[in-house]
Amino acid sequence: MKRPGAVVFDWDNTLVASWEIIHDSLRRTFLDLGRKPWSFDQTRAWVRRSMRDSFPDLFGADAGRAEELFYRHYRTHHLRLLTPLAGAARTLDLLRHNGMPLGVVSSKLGELVREEAAHLGWSGRFRRIIGAEDAPADKPAPAAMALTLEGIGVTAGAEVWYVGDTGIDVTCARNASCVAVIVSPDPPRDGDQARTPDYQVADHAGLQGLLRRCGVAI
């Protein structure tokens, strides 16, 4: 195992727990548009791509209205419900103490990710935070990762880890020629296709153990 030279993180459900607010915002959007809302499991299975990429497929001509409704609810409640995943802050601190440059690439609207990072007092942990609509194309397109790596000051390659929790994160890493690391007890999937990461651990304790085995001082 090779020690990473930089680490880029997904945001939702990799560093912070956000399924509750995402599902509730989507449920209210469905109801406001007169549609049957999804179950929690359906939401978890579907939410992968950015809203710019996914809402036209889901809502068709109502995509613009759906986005407005979703964000109206999300912005009202997200900071109140925002919760770091267990061990996430320690992971970030350990990497910073090892001099590791850190970044974020998320499918969530970039301004919201940066607002949440500031709310948690985490903004200073990252050299660049990129989300949906910050780059010409959203994750998993390589443009989003390229923008983050430019801000970090490193080049994409085998020394850069991209850490996420779903199959689209594996795809994002592959598209950027980076190492794919999954933090989840579940096999990563992207749509109906399984995605095999370079490394997978169940939680942040497992990620810290992986980093230790790769030569990061813990």
25-66 pLDDT per residue, tens: 889 888 888 898 888 788 877 777 777 777 888 888 888 888
Q: Note the pLDDT tens digit of each residue in 104-160.
A: 999 999 999 999 999 999 999 999 999 999 999 999 999 999 999 999 999 999 999
Residue linked to tokens 């950027």 = 176
> What is the number of alpha carbons within 13 Å of residue 42 lying toward its C-beta?
9
Question: Could you give the domains of the chain?
Answer: 6-17+83-213 (3.40.50.1000), 19-81 (1.10.150)
pLDDT given for residue 10 in this prediction: 97
Distance CA 70, CA 27 (A): 9
Mean pLDDT value across the chain: 91
Distance CA 212, CA 29 (A): 43
pLDDT higher than threshold 70 for residue 7: yes
Distance CA 93, CA 172 (A): 24
